[in-house]
Amino acid sequence: MRAIVGAILVLFAAAPAARAQSYSASGQIGYLHEWEITGNLGKTVTSPGTEYSGTITLRHVGLCSVNGVEQKQARLQLKVSSRRLEGVLIMDEDRCRIVASGSSGSGQLTCGSGQDVPINLLIGKAVEIEAADRTRL
């Protein structure tokens, strides 16, 4: 039994690290593009379209930054079809709805205040990333 377990551990240790595809996300939020969006999203293909989700960074790049650059982490979940992009931007303090044109990525972001704010969102090409090697004990 120990020999079998040992052989399995050797096989896992010798296997190359798994690779996953990640899609870059970038864009701006605000009337004057005060917030910059950057991050990587995972992709899932469904029958009505494609879904993307992942963690993004929002960085305030507006002129009103009194105490330096403000950054926030957020979760982005999108459903993309040929004509429309819909989703949610989830932050600690708010949950915002995104509705945009699927071809241009330009649309509206509606948060708890109820006011629509312009958003421009671009999902880029796939980038291969190495998954964490979970076989080490």
| pLDDT for 114 beyond 60 | yes
Q: What is the pLDDT of residues 58-109, one digit of tens each?
A: 999 877 666 777 899 999 999 998 788 999 999 988 999 999 987 788 999 9
Measured CA to CA in angstroms, residue 18 lies from 7, 53, 70 at distances of 20, 20, 34
Portion of the chain with pLDDT greater than 90, in percent: 50
Confidence band, pLDDT 50/70/90 cuts, at residue 25: very high
> According to the model, what pLDDT value does residue 116 have?
94
> According to the model, what pLDDT value does residue 29 have?
95
Domains of the chain: 18-130 (2.40.128)
